[in-house]
Structure 1
Amino acid sequence: MTQAYTAAEKRSRIRGIIGAASGNLVEWFDFYIYAVFAVYFTKALTAPSMDSTYQSIYVWGVFAASFFMRPIGSWLFGRIADKHGRKKSMVISIILMAISSFLFACLPTYEQVGMLAPFLLLMVRLLQGLSVGGEYGAVATYMSELGLKGQRGFFSSFQYVTLTGGQLLASLLGVILLAAMTEQQLLDGGWRIPFVIGGISAIISLLARSRLEETLNHEDSDKEESGTLRELFKNHWKTFLLVVGYTSAGSLSFYVITVYSKTYLTNLGISSQTVGFIMTICIFILMVAQPIFGMLSDRIGRRTSMLAFSGLMAIFIYPVMAVGMPYFSGSPIIVALLLIFLMMILSFYTSISGIVKAEMFPPHVRALGVGFSYAVGNALFGGSAPSVALQFKAAGIENTFFVYVIIMLIICFLCSFKLPKEPEYLQDDH
């Protein structure tokens, strides 16, 4: 049955989608500026007596540690979202990100407080990881529930538009500040500026989120088991494992293609500047493609999209990455086209990443189920992708890493057959 909407209802829902998406953009922008500006605050926040390699290892170890705060964040904010409302969860999440960004900008240097500096760096970064961990489940749930019937794939795709958009904006800010300031000025304290900008952006997003409409009804929130891990693992553990199954391959593929490929291409002898240009263009195209693939999923179904992603990626990732890119490494244009090809296959997954999870769980544990399953799969397989790939390379069997990716994709392909074509509980609006 087709759902009819008045013009006012459509405007209200679209405003809600924009409000949720804008906050997601800010959250990921704040999260990624750490990676962009790490090279400038490493020396200021670590012991000068340490070798530069160990300084970098610590700073990037802190980055990795933030991934393991995501399951905690997804549990905490998932419970809030399922028990007290999606809006409240998203508002608290963006407030926490604003606070952590401003705290980051105010971090004392090692010269000022000694060993307390690297410890405070870790604490503030863990706060950011907690915030981002809570963001994914609440936003994916909210967008799936607010999206117009028959167009939920399209509207939900904007979650990854803003996720990749945050990554692009962080990179762009790095280019702008490096053009406006000298490298020494950034080292001397200019690295604080992006975190101030991030904090201000979060406050602006907070104003937009404070006006969102709530999608969780009282019947679901009043249930005693709403938002509890006990309910999730007692009655929905099969769904949880299923979602972790295809999230693991999706996150692994995402980080291989958008993060590790930068290192991979550099190791092929392509200059860092050229690789940076290739990645910027390709990620921009990936971002723009999300709504198109989201609309496609509304036509062909989520299961078909997931089967297309896992099946095609399993077939093409080895010949493209292990054979094609090394062979055409002398032609940046062909390398870029090969990377774009993989990103288009990836888009079958990323465009529906949130909604395909949300459609698997009932409302009273939806935000928790979506966020926690994503956080677990992402922490175990997604965030670890670059380091695992480098370990394969160190062992002299780098191409075997892609076999590992293929195995995970085959698992995802089999899990995708279990996806319902159109879940009954999402046929009607909440």
Structure 2
Amino acid sequence: MPAPAQTPISKVALAGAIGTTIEWYDFFLYGTAAGIVFDKLFFPRFDSLVGTLLAFATFAIGFVARPLGGVVFGHFGDRVGRKTALVVTMFIMGAGTFLIGLLPTYDSIGIWAPVLLILLRIVQGVGVGGEWGGAVLMSVEHAPEGRKGYYGSWPQIGVPAGLMLGTGVYALLSSSLSSAQFLDWGWRIAFLLSGALVIIGLYIRLQVYETPAFKAVQEKQDQARIPIVELLRTSKLNLLLGMGTRMAEGIAFNTWGVFAIAYTTTELNVSRTHALIGVMVGAAVCIPMIPVWGAISDRFGRLRVFGLGTVLFGLSAFPAFALFNTGSSLVIAGTLVVTLGLFYGAMYGPQAALYAELFPANVRYSGVSCVYQVSGVFASGLTPLILTSLLASGGGRPWLMSVYIVAMSVLSLVSVILIAVLCRRIGAQTPQPVPVLQS
């Protein structure tokens, strides 16, 4: 019986970009709502700062749940296949987001409102925790040699595209409705829209065949019996160094894409619509830059490009907040174009191929998921909470936040350098899943 035809890589890349855009729209929609809606509707008995902290705490819970999704669906992705795991996680994610749009508020059901909000945020976290690894591997493992950075970057487009879509929907609703209408029912429209988007995403993903790398593992009957155990046995060093590189990338996105909205609207009195548009413009610029940086990594190496991104992030911290503090909507939007639109992609573009190259195919889904999702608890989920706390500790001035960003950038840069040193020892241009890099 002839083997099924391979899906053209262009179709795989496009499917990855559309699918992850829908997934991340769902996930980051919560972050936007946490900064401007949930503190008022689900934690109304606290003052503004405490309510924001509680809303961002529930935002962080989604990231705490993501490692669970990464381990569970990493297991099935390495045992059963990338495609099956992707379809299931998209359904889970969409259901959680849609149900948030139907939730009664604190005024209606009291304490059960935030409890149910937290439970649905956990559902979101499990869904996206299992989805990311499969999405990037579908592109990386279908891609030809020498183009894995470029094609692997296409699912990464989903992060800024999902953010742009989510903030764009909120900006439209915010500008077309009164504040009372927006808080009463308008915010729900963005969450309910997820139902239609998920149907589109499921249809697209069902059109893509399984990856050649996983088929080869199946043919050799080389699936790990318990992938997470095999991963920890053979690749602990890869995991730790990968997580170290992830800190700067996760903090960068959640600083400029999530926290910036709450900071500019709450502390600087910038209008909600202008803040949302600023982030939306920065995300729009980031979308084409991600595959550009991915292609550059094919030419000059993942580590060089990723390392450059960490340096740019660290150097931009103090100037960016100084520019924010001008209070000018135009200046803030321009700052986000540079930090989120241009600099961030240098890390996120080559990331998928970089992490895939750290692990052998039979534990690769589990490997990339654990690197991305476990580190994401600290690098992404806690970032808005940490920055809000540092802002309060700094008396409302951003200098402590900038120090934190610089410190985490240094940590990621050191991790990149250590991977480069290990690669040099084995004569590899990129980190390969070979014994020297496994512990």
TM bin, normalised by shorter chain, reads 0.7 to 0.9
Structure 1 residues 271 and 179: CA distance shift in structure 2, 3 A: closer
The answer to whether the aligner puts 1:345 opposite 2:335 as a matched pair is no
Tell me, in whole angstroms, the C-alpha distance in 2 between the residues paired with 1:117 and 1:189: 15
Whole-angstrom distance in 2 between the partners of 1:108 and 1:268: 29
Q: Counterpart amino acid of 1:248?
A: M
Tell me the distance in 2 between the aligned counterparts of 1:174 and 1:83: 40
Q: Write the distance in 2 (CA, Å) between the matches of 1:52 and 1:249.
A: 29
Structure 1 residues 232 and 191: alpha-carbon distance in aligned structure 2, compared to 1, 3 A threshold: same
Partner deviation per Cα, 1:6-31 (whole Å, 9 max, x = no partner): xx96x722212222221111111111
Aligned residue identity for 2:326: S
The answer for the alignment partner of 1:384 in structure 2 is 382
1:370 match: 368
Q: Where in structure 2 are the equivalents of 1:150-169 lying within 5 Å?
A: 150-169=146-165
The answer on 1:231 being equivalent to 2:234 is no
The equivalent residue for 1:25 is: 21
Aligned twin of 2:326: 329
Cα offset, 1:318, TM superposition = 4.9
Q: Note if contact 1:64-1:383 (Cα within 8 Å) is conserved in structure 2.
A: yes
For residues 60-209 of structure 1, the aligned pairs below 5 Å read: 60-110=56-106, 112-209=108-205
1:309 is aligned to 309
Moved more, 157-166 or 264-273: 264-273
Bigger shift: residues 294-303 or 256-265: 256-265
**Residues 97 and 194 in structure 2, CA contact (< 8 A), matched pair in contact too:** yes
Which residue does 2:437 correspond to in 1? none
Secondary structure of the structure 1 residue equivalent to 2:343: helix
Q: Which amino acid aligns with 1:217?
A: F
SS state at 2:8 partner: helix
Q: Which moved more, 1:187-196 or 1:361-370?
A: 187-196
1:401–1:303 CA distance, 2 compared to 1 (3 A):
closer
Moved more, 414-423 or 119-128: 414-423
1:407 matched to 2:425? The reply is: no
CA distance in 1, matches of 2:263, 2:363: 39
Q: CA deviation at 1:384?
A: 2.1
Aligned-partner residue type, residue 291 of structure 2: P
RMSD of equivalent CA atoms:
3.0
Task: Provide closer, same or farther for how the CA distance between residues 330 and 50 of structure 1 changes in structure 2, counting only shifts above 3 A.
Answer: closer
| Matched residue type, 2:162 | G
Percent of aligned pairs with the same amino acid: 26
TM-score, structure 2 as length reference: 0.83
Q: Confirm or deny: 8 A CA contact 1:150 1:298 kept in the other structure.
A: yes
Letter in 2 for 1:380: F
* Distance change in 2, residues 1:361/1:279 (3 Å): same
Deviation at 1:35, TM superposition (A): 3.0
Q: 2:415 & 2:202 partners in 1: Cα distance?
A: 36
Counterpart residue number, 2:291: 291
1:354 paired to 2:362: no
What is the aligned residue count? 414
Specify the alignment match of 1:214 in structure 2.
210
Structure 1: gaps (5+ residues): 1-7
1:8-47 alignment to 2 at 5 Å?
12-38=8-34, 39-40=36-37, 44-45=41-42
- SS of 2:222's partner is coil
Superposed CA deviations along residues 299-325 of structure 1, whole A, max 9, x for unmatched, are 1121221232234444x2355346x63
AA aligned to 2:92 is L
Q: CA deviation at 1:365?
A: 0.7
Distance 1:307 1:403, change over 3 A: closer
Aligned mates of 1:349, 1:283 — CA distance in 2: 14
For the 8 Å contact 1:81–1:227, the answer to whether it is kept is: no
Give the Å deviation of 1:364.
0.7
